[in-house]
Structure formats: structure tokens, C-alpha cells
């Protein structure tokens, strides 16, 4: 019997190595994600792993188009009679090897091309909710990029209706609350963003805020000052990607010109001490994305991730998955990987998870419920 168990253990370990090797080569089998950390590296203690798993978490930086798993992409492409450039799931996964943000974006926009019907957007969104439900993600604020779809002839309505219907079903089935944030593509011009804002107005009640994403360098927040002003006047909250590849000046612009409630990424704030002080004074959270930063070579080692240094400086840091299908892991895996790399304590983890809920756009009563649960779980952990 013991022999059989040992054999099984060896087999699982080998499987782990295969998955791990593949991960090194950017061939990612994210369905194995729980096992990855535990089996291969076995460094993080099981108790902390369970704690990360159990505590309620919110996700505040997630591009729904970035949750497009290759298997689903092939299924949807096939039912829409669209031929992908890659012959197989394996071939596509081999392309997940990025040197910078633009290389990733090229592939990400190409993948989104197969999304045609409302049901496609529904399936994409629902698949994401099924995954995060198992990870105790209790609230999610998802980004979508309307222009990626409207520029190829899809109606704004088709996209938003599919996403919204899935989110409603997810809330009914899994109890996951949600908000929707619509991002302007910053590589396009401000007139295009104005058109998108007009298209969004009939769905104003469904969309809590506007954001700014895509190729950062050369496309500063100042390029979108007027459209963000109009969006705020229409009642939208604002957020923006800044300081991922772009300089700390972009973060200043997002704060001063776009009046954002949160900075997406914000890694480069550490280049400017005054900016760090400003983020602390204004209580502006950073929605950081460790595995994304590693995949897109914003950092070359997770041990160099600035999250802990920023926490120690009293910056409000949150952990998020960005584009999990492309970067090797959903929210829990981002926590696992960061905790291991930076040797985070349960107290650190509870601060990160509490920040995610406290600085979400969720109502206060629900926030309090989740925050109470986190503090109870931390007490239990320490006993
Ligand atoms: N769109 C999707 N993911 C993005 C990222 N990490 N940065 C900028 N734009 C994006
Ligand atoms: Zn992002």
C-alpha cells in the first residue's frame, strides 16, 4: 500500500515537473495551478496556502479579454467558422512568451477577434467566474475594451449584454458581486474614445467607471484629459493604467488630469519619492499584478516585485491577475507566487486582501462583512 502511495506521489511529482517545465517555457496549464506551487517548490507552508485560499478576496484589475483560455478560444473560433493563425492549443500556448507589453497586446487583440456573438462574450465571462468562485474571490471589477470589438464591426450592445448577463448569472449561482469598467484604448485617439463614451451612455447604469489601457509609452494620460472630464461629468468613476512601462510622470498625470480613484499597476511610482507620499496622502490604491509583471518583463524576478516595499511605505497595494489566461495564473496564484517570493506573512496577506475589498466600489455593508471574515480568519491563523 505504502509503495503504491509512493508511486502515486512520484507520478504526481513528475506531472508537476512537466507542468513546471512547461511554465518555464511559457506553456501554461493553468488548470494545474493549485498543484504547481505546492508540488514543485514546496516552499510555502501549507497553513499559509490554506489561509490565502480561504480569505475573501476582490479582484480590481482584470481584463475580461485576458481570461480567454486557448481551449475556449479554439471552441469559439470553430463555432464561428474562424481560422486561427495557430494550428493547435499547444502551438498557441508556445506563443505566450513575451518580451514586453506590446508583444502581449498583439496576441491578445488577435485572440479577441473570434468573439462575435453575445453568447461568446457570455461564455468568456462565465468561464472566468467559474474559476474564481473556487478561489474565494467574492467580488470582481472587470475591465472590457469596447473598441477592440466595435472596431471590427461588433455592436457595443452585443459585447456589454453578453458580459452583463454572465455576471448576473454568476452572482446568482456563486454569490460573486461585480462591477464593470470600460477601458479606452490609449493607442487610439481621443475622438475615438469620445465615440465610445457616447455608445456607453445608454448602458450607464451597468458601467461604474472608465479606465485607460493598451500601449502605454507614447500615449500619456494627458491625451485623454477631455474625454475623462466628460466621463466624470456623466457620473463615471475613473481609473487608469499608469507606470507599468511608462514613467512616474504618467502616474502624476493620471492623478492630476484624469482624477483617478485607483492607479492600475503603478510600479514606477517608486522612482519618485514625492509621488509615493502623494499616493499615501490621497489614499490612492495601486492595483498591482505580479505574474503579469513577470511575464511582460516589467520585473525579471518576482523577488524584486515592489509590492512589499510599497506596503512598508504605507501605500495601499492590491493584488490582481490582469490577464490570467496569458500570464499563468488567476488571482490565488498571484497571491501564492508573491507570498513565496517576498516571504509574506499571514498579516501581509490579510492587508492585501482587506485592501482589495476596502478600495473596491462595493457597498459599505458588504465590504464590512468580508473584512470581518478576514480578521476572524487571521485570528484563527494566529491561534
Ligand atoms: N490590456 C490588457 N492587459 C493590459 C496591460 N497589462 N497593460 C495595458 N493594457 C492592457
Ligand atoms: Zn491591465
Q: Same domain, yes or no, for 31 and 79? A: no
Q: Same domain, yes or no, for 281 and 191? A: yes
Q: Tell me which ligand sits closest to the C-alpha of residue 60.
A: 2
Q: Same domain, yes or no, for 9 and 65? A: no
Main-chain dihedrals φ then ψ at residue 305, nearest 5 degrees: -65, 135
292 Cα nearest atom in ligand 1 = 6
Whether residue 30 is predicted with pLDDT greater than 80 in this model: the reply is no
**Residue 130: how many CB atoms within 10 A of its CB?**
13
Q: Same domain, yes or no, for 33 and 50? A: no
Q: Please report how many Cα atoms fall inside a 13 Å half-sphere around the Cα of residue 304, on the Cβ side.
A: 10
Whether residue 215 is predicted with pLDDT greater than 80 in this model: the reply is yes
Whether residue 5 is predicted with pLDDT greater than 80 in this model: the reply is no
Of 14-28, 164-178, 204-218, 260-274, which gets the smallest average pLDDT?
Answer: 14-28
Residue of 59, 244, 253, 358 marked catalytic: 244
| Alpha carbon distance 242, 255 (integer Å) | 10
The number of folded domains in the chain is 2
Q: Same domain, yes or no, for 189 and 336? A: yes
Report percent pLDDT > 70 for the chain. 89
3-state secondary structure 193-245: HHHHHHHHHHHHHHCCEEEEECCCCCCCHHHHHHHHHHHHHCCCEEEEEECCC
Q: Same domain, yes or no, for 172 and 214? A: yes
Per the rule left: phi > 0, alpha: psi between -120 and 50, beta: everything else, 246 is beta
Q: How confident is the model at residue 176 (pLDDT cuts 50, 70, 90)?
A: very high
| Alpha carbon distance 136, 338 (integer Å) | 18
C-alpha cell at 233: 461629468
Q: Same domain, yes or no, for 196 and 81? A: yes
Q: What is the dihedral of CA 357, 359, 361, 364, to 10 degrees?
A: 70
Is there a catalytic annotation at residue 273? no
Indicate the SS3 state at residue 83: coil
Domain range enclosing 114: 45-379
Indicate the SS3 state at residue 259: coil
Residue in 200, 202, 218 with CA at minimum distance from that of residue 210: 200
Whether residue 290 is predicted with pLDDT greater than 90 in this model: the reply is yes
In the chain, the N- to C-terminal Cα span, in Å, equals 36
Contacts of 96 (CB under 8 A, 6+ apart): 26, 27, 28, 107, 295, 326
Q: How far is the CA of 106 from the centre of ligand 2 (A)?
A: 14
Q: Same domain, yes or no, for 319 and 333? A: yes
Give the pLDDT of residue 219: 98
Residue in 168, 129, 163, 165 with CA at minimum distance from that of residue 149: 163
363-377: pLDDT as tens digits:
999 999 999 999 999
| Burial profile 342-355: b = 16 or more Cβ within 10 angstroms, e = fewer | bebebebbbbbbbb
Indicate the SS3 state at residue 42: coil
Q: Same domain, yes or no, for 30 and 109? A: no
Q: Tell me which ligand sits closest to the C-alpha of residue 292.
A: 1
Q: Same domain, yes or no, for 115 and 146? A: yes
Q: Same domain, yes or no, for 28 and 147? A: no
Whether residue 148 is predicted with pLDDT greater than 60 in this model: the reply is yes
Across residues 307-318, what is the average pLDDT? 98
Cβ < 6 A, ligand 1 pocket: 63, 66, 101, 108, 213-214, 241, 244, 292, 322-323
Q: Are 236 and 209 in contact (CB under 8 A)?
A: yes
Q: How far is the CA of 213 from the centre of ligand 1 (A)?
A: 6
Report percent pLDDT > 90 for the chain. 89
Q: Same domain, yes or no, for 148 and 21? A: no
Measured between alpha carbons, how far is residue 87 from residues 83, 95, 104, 113 in Å? 9, 12, 19, 16
Whether residue 28 is predicted with pLDDT greater than 80 in this model: the reply is no
C-alpha cell at 144: 472590457
Q: Are 158 and 121 in contact (CB under 8 A)?
A: yes
Q: How far is the CA of 238 from the centre of ligand 1 (A)?
A: 16
Across residues 286-292, what is the average pLDDT? 98
| Alpha carbon distance 194, 219 (integer Å) | 16
Domain with 283 in it: what CATH number? 3.20.20.140
C-alpha cell at 229: 472630464
Q: Whose CA is nearest to atom 1 of ligand 1?
A: 214
Residue in 196, 191, 195 with CA at minimum distance from that of residue 223: 191
Q: How confident is the model at residue 42 (pLDDT cuts 50, 70, 90)?
A: low
Amino acid at each position: 500500500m505504502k509503495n503504491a502511495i509512493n508511486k502515486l506521489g512520484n507520478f504526481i511529482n513528475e506531472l508537476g515537473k512537466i507542468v513546471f517545465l512547461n511554465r518555464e517555457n511559457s506553456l501554461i496549464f493553468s488548470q494545474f495551478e493549485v498543484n504547481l506551487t505546492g508540488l514543485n517548490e514546496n516552499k510555502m507552508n501549507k497553513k499559509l496556502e490554506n489561509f490565502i485560499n480561504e480569505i475573501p478576496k476582490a479582484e480590481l484589475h482584470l481584463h475580461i479579454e485576458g481570461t480567454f483560455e486557448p481551449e475556449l478560444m479554439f471552441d469559439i473560433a470553430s463555432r464561428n467558422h474562424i481560422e486561427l493563425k495557430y494550428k493547435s492549443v499547444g502551438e498557441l500556448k508556445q506563443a505566450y512568451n513575451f518580451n514586453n507589453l506590446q508583444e502581449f497586446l498583439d496576441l491578445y487583440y488577435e485572440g479577441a477577434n473570434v468573439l462575435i456573438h453575445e453568447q461568446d462574450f457570455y461564455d468568456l465571462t462565465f468561464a472566468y467566474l467559474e474559476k474564481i468562485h473556487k478561489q474565494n474571490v467574492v467580488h470582481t471589477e472587470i475591465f472590457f475594451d469596447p473598441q477592440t470589438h466595435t472596431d471590427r464591426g461588433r455592436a457595443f450592445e452585443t459585447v456589454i449584454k453578453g458580459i452583463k448577463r454572465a455576471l448576473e448569472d454568476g452572482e446568482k449561482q456563486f454569490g460573486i458581486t461585480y462591477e464593470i469598467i470600460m477601458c479606452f484604448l490609449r493607442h487610439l485617439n481621443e475622438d475615438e474614445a469620445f465615440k465610445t463614451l457616447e455608445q456607453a451612455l445608454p448602458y450607464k447604469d451597468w458601467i461604474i467607471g472608465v479606465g485607460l489601457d493598451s500601449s502605454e509609452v507614447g500615449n500619456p494620460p494627458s491625451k485623454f484629459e477631455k474625454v475623462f472630464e466628460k466621463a466624470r461629468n456623466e457620473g463615471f468613476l475613473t481609473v487608469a493604467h499608469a507606470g507599468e512601462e511608462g514613467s512616474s510622470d504618467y502616474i502624476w498625470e493620471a492623478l492630476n488630469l484624469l482624477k483617478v480613484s485607483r492607479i492600475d499597476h503603478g510600479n514606477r511610482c517608486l522612482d519618485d519619492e514625492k509621488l509615493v507620499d502623494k499616493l499615501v496622502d490621497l489614499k490612492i490604491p495601486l492595483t498591482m499584478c505580479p505574474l503579469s509583471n513577470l511575464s511582460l518583463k516589467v520585473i525579471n524576478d518576482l523577488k524584486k516585485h515592489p509590492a512589499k516595499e510599497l506596503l512598508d511605505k504605507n501605500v495601499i497595494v492590491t493584488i490582481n491577475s490582469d490577464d490570467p489566461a496569458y500570464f499563468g495564473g488567476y488571482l490565488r496564484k498571484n497571491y501564492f507566487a508573491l507570498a513565496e517570493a517576498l516571504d509574506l506573512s499571514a498579516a501581509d496577506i490579510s492587508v492585501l486582501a482587506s485592501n482589495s475589498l476596502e478600495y473596491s466600489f462595493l457597498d459599505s455593508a458588504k465590504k464590512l462583512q468580508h473584512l470581518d471574515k478576514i480578521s476572524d480568519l487571521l485570528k484563527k491563523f494566529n491561534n
